[in-house]
Every structure is written in structure tokens, then in C-alpha cells.
Amino acid sequence: MHADLLAAISLGEGIGGLDWGIIIAFLAISTLFAFVMKGRQAGARDFFLSGRNLPWVVVCVSLVATEISAAGFVGVPYSVFSEDLSYLQLAIGAILARFLIAYYFLPAFMEKETYSPYHFVGRKLGLGAERMTSVLFMIGAVLGQGVRVLTIAVALHIITGIDVSLSILTITAFAALWAVIGGIRTVVWTDLIQLVVLVAAAVAAGVYLISQTAGGLPHVIDVASAAEKLRVFDFRADKVLEFTIWTALFGSTFNTLASHGTDQMNTQRLFCCRSTGDAKKAILWSSLSQGIVLLFLCIGLGLFAYYRQHADELRQYTMDMSEKELLAIFIATALPVGLKGLLVAGLLAAAISSLNSALAALSQTTVRSFFINVAKPVHDEKSQVHLARVFTVLWGIVLYMTASYFESMQIFSNLLTAALKATSFTYGALLGALLLAFLPHGRDGRGLLFSTPLAVLTAFGMSVHEAWTHWIMIVGVAVLFVCWCYMLFREVEDLAHIKDQNQYVRRAWYIMLAEFPRTVWVLAGSALVLYMHFGDFYGYFADASGQIAWPWFLPVGIGITVVLGYLLSRPRAMVTTEDGVD
């Protein structure tokens, strides 16, 4: 695939000096703006929350910029080119979820000063639950952002001829630099520039497409209508299809609840608002992002009409590469000098706005969960900020290596779906853990230590159906059961301080008998996970190919996390954290 991309680039005219000037100017101005807007960085509260004084409008713009990721910019136009406007249905769940977050999640989060959803989970269910959800976020962020960075790196390679690895390095370097300069404050303010550039590039591409299509906008609409590209709603009850009214109502709603309610990439911005009311405004008005999604879909319609009139060109370019790189092909071969540079700047804006958000969130979560909230915490404010900057760079290296590894694996078949699937592995478990923390059940978080890994294994097992995954599923379930048994034996060993033999025996039997039903639930949950994998693989739940659409991973993961998390937990009088007792 990499060789094919190199061959394909020779078909384009390359980019000129004006294009490079626009690209360099965008990066330079954004970097300068980051330095200007970094503000006061006296401690962790400033670096992680910007002192909770950001205007809600700026936070809203930053949310939109982050949501319109690289995979969306490249992948959404192709979705309508190859299918229809059914992707737009997902807006239903995306908007519905925002109201649930605004009126249910945010008041609970903002009741006390909260740094992350995982901090909230820790206050309710204990430090172990906080760390488990933090690790889940880290896994999902690294996988999802790795795919998103690769998406733009491949597109940049097609357009400019720059090596994919160098493109990945450039994106991660600038994202890390802007995040290091001023923490979440510079991330949010630079998102403002990036969204302006991104939208300007998309509008310019749409206008140019119409101007270069004989017959203009009326012809585009006629061609799209004749090819049934204007269909929005799909009521088919087929669980293999990704974009139907059912995945919009259920999958998209849960996905947005997770992405904007549990993913620190987005929630960190909401915690920067001055009040709960401002945070509500920011999340609700960020629904305008669906308008940008509609713009991308319209670009896809324009590309469909344009290449209907230039079919020979498309066939020529796609002899060596996939039609899924349609937007990159169009930029490389059809756009004039100047406009081409603006589109490349837009692609970079989409990539960096998501990546620097991820780096800021990963750094904050690492320092908060594993260095501040520990037995010997780092109390010094300057040391906390220094640690945050160090981990921003380290996570940048990890994400660079992840995207490069994906590139070596040649994961190019459908990058939009790959990006959505990568986060769906952990989103179900994260949202399930948060919902469990909301329940007024007075239980501890021990159950999450086992239910969340089982939920992630289930999503993975339902998604990947190669033979080697069977062993991963079996070994994963076996390891979790061994850990459960080891935990029980450790609890019995901890009774050694009881000197009276009869009391010791009675207490040991009490533990074993009380834990027996929970052990049965662990076995039942493990069996369910394996059944979902092998049953899905052999076609009991999916079609003959063993596939099931990614939006359904989330409801399954939520169910496993909540049910098993509750059944495996124990009653508690209270959970103590550094913030006290909830």
C-alpha cells in the first residue's frame, strides 16, 4: 500500500511555493498565538483547568474543533460518495446525548471541583475505580488518536509526497508543542484558529467543486438524487449496518454520552468553564458541529457529481490506490495553487486539534491519578506542572509510535470506521463505570476492576474475528479469573492478625461463602464474553461473515460493566479519597 501511494502521488501536480507559504503561516501563527494566550501557569489548576475562567463560547468552539476530527474530514465525504446521507442520522443521538450530559452529568461533576470523570468515579467508588477508568481512557485515546493521525498523514502523503512517517512526526510535534506551552488553555485557544481554518478550507473546497462541475449546484443535486444519494433515514433492522435510525437512536446516543461525558478529551474543557450554567451552554451549543458534518457530506455529494463528469480521471488515479482516499486525490490533482495549501492547512488543523486535546487529557489523567492521588503525592505546584509537561511529551512519543505502527500494518481499508471502532472498545466500559458511580447503591468499586476488562474484551471479540483473537479472548478471561481467585486468597491471608482460632475459621468461612455467589457471577460473565465472541464469529449474532456494526459494541459493553460491576461489588459505609468522603 505504501508503494502504491508513492506511485499515486506522481499523478498529481504537487504543491507550489504559495501552498507551502500558507501551510507554514498557519503553523507559525498558531504557535505564536499559543505563546500569547498561555496565560498564568502557577500550578496544576491553571495547567489542567485554566483556573476555571474560560469563556463558554471559546470552550464551545474548542469542543466543535475537537469533535471534527481528521477521520471525519477525510472519511465523511467518502461515506456519501459510496453510500448516501445516512451518516447524518447519527446527529439525532449526538444532540440527544448533549442534553443528557448538560442536565444530568454536569451538575454532578461540577458539585465539587472535578478534574475528570475518572476523578468523579474515584470519589464515588474509590481510588481503584478511578485508576481503572483512567487506564481505559488512555487505551482508547491512544488507539483512536493513532488512527486519526494516520488518516491525515496518508492524505498529506498523497497530496505533498512527504513520507507518512514524517507527516506523523510533524503532526505530533506541533500538537505536543502547543499543549506543553500552556496546558489546556493554549489547547482551547488554538482550537479557535484551527476551526476557522478547517471550516474555511471545507467551504472553499465545496465552492470550487460546484464551480468546476458543469451545470453547477442544480446539476449536483440532480445527479445525487438520481443516484439515491440524498436518502437520510434508513429504517432497516440489520445489525451489520453502521448508519441506520436504530444506530442513531441507540449507538450514537451512547457513543456521544461516552465521548462528551466520559472522554477527558472533551470533558476537560467543560471543567474549565466558570460555572455549571456556562458548561451547559458550551455542551449544548456544540451541537452546531453537526452543521460542519453536513458540510462535509455536501462535499461528498460534490465529489460524486464531479467525478461522474471526470470518471476516467478517477479510474486512472484509483488504479494504484483506494477510492477511500477520494478527498486527497481531489486535492492533489484538481485544486489550483493556493487553494491546495488552504486544504492542507485544514487537514492539519483537523489532526492537531484532536491530537493536542488528547495529549493534554492524557497528561492530566496520568498526573492526577498516579502522582497526585497517591500515598506520597506530589504537592508542589511547580512540580505538578513540570510533570504534566513531561508526560505531554511522553504521550506524544507514544502516539507517534502508535500511528507509525498502524502505518506499518497498512491499516488503510476504512480509516473512518477504524477510528470509531478503536474508541468503541473502551467507551462502553467507561460509560458503564460512570453510570455505576451515579447509582445511590452504597457499593465499592471492586466490581469495576473485573467488569470493565470483560466489557473491553467483549467489544474486541465482537470486532476482530481472526483466528489469533480466540487465544486472546481465552487467555484474557482466564487471567481475570485467576486474579479474582488470588484476591480472595489474599483477603483470607489478611485474617492472620486474628489470634483466636475459632474466630479466624468463622471469618474465613464467612468470606468464602459470601464470595461464592460473586465467584459464580465471574464465571458466568466470563462464559458470556466467550459466547459473544465465538457465537458472533460463527454467525449466531451477526451475518455469515461474523460482522456486527460498531455502534452496538457500546450498549453491550455498558450492560456488562454495570451489571457485573454491581454484582461483584460489596456494600460499603464510605469511600475515602484525598477530597474526603462522599
Last residue of a domain, one of 412, 444, 461: 412
pLDDT for 5: 42
Q: What is the pTM of this model?
A: 0.85
Within this chain, do residues 433 and 407 fall inside the same structural domain, yes or no? no
> Does 290 lie in the same domain as 339?
yes
Task: List Cα–Cα distances, 322 to 82, 243, 326, 405, in angstroms.
Answer: 12, 22, 8, 20
Would the pLDDT of 2 be above 80? no
Q: pLDDT value at position 14?
A: 63
pLDDT, one tens digit per residue, over 501-555 is: 777 777 777 777 878 888 999 999 999 888 887 775 555 554 444 467 777 888 8
Provide the residue type at 144 as one letter: G
Residue 152: what residue type? I
CA angle 144, 145, 148 (to 5 degrees): 95
Domain-ending residue, one of 412, 438, 471: 412
5 or 495: which carries more pLDDT confidence? Answer: 495
d(CA 64, CA 353): 10
State the pLDDT at residue 15.
75
Is 443 in a helix, a strand, or coil? strand
Q: Is residue 421 part of a domain?
A: no
Which range (6-15, 275-284, 555-564) has the least confidence?
6-15
**What letter represents residue 154's amino acid?**
V
Write the pLDDT tens digit of every residue in 415-460. 555 555 667 788 999 999 999 998 876 778 888 999 999 999 988 8
54: three-class secondary structure by DSSP: strand
Instruction: Kindly tell me if the per-residue pLDDT of 478 is higher than 70.
Output: yes
Beta-carbon contacts of residue 261 (< 8 Å; ≥ 6 apart): 97, 100, 101, 105, 117, 267, 431, 434
Give the 3-state secondary structure of residue 63.
Answer: helix
**pLDDT band at 216, cuts 50/70/90?**
confident
Average pLDDT, rounded, for the chain: 82
* Conformational region of residue 50, where left means phi above 0, alpha means psi within -120 to 50, and beta covers everything else: left
Interval 97-142: pLDDT, tens:
999 999 999 999 988 878 889 999 988 888 888 999 999 999 988 9
CA–CA dist 275, 410 (Å, integer): 45
- The CATH number of whichever domain residue 125 belongs to comes to 1.20.1730.10
Residues 141 and 285 in one domain: yes
Query: Domain check: are 177 and 257 in the same one?
Result: yes
Q: Is the pLDDT at 395 greater than 70, yes or no?
A: yes
Under 8 Å CB-to-CB from 237, ≥6 apart: which residues? Answer: 244, 246
- Residue 67 covered by a domain: yes
- In tens, the pLDDT along 320-377 reads 555 567 778 888 888 888 888 898 888 888 888 888 888 989 998 998 888 775 545 5
**pLDDT tens-place string over residues 11-70:** 445 677 888 999 999 999 989 988 888 877 667 777 888 878 889 999 999 999 888 866
pLDDT number for residue 464: 75
pLDDT tens digits, residue range 185-209? 888 898 888 889 888 988 998 898 8
Q: How many domains does the chain have?
A: 2
Same domain membership, residue 484 and residue 381: no
Q: Supply the pLDDT for residue 283.
A: 95
Which residues are within 8 A (CB) of 354 and not within 5 positions of it... i.e. 6 or more apart?
Answer: 66, 69, 70, 145, 148, 265
| Grid coordinates belonging to 268 | 476537560
**Beta carbons of 561 and 530 less than 8 angstroms apart:** no
Q: Is residue 419 part of a domain?
A: no
Residue 518's domain spans which residues? 428-582
The per-residue pLDDT for 581 is 44
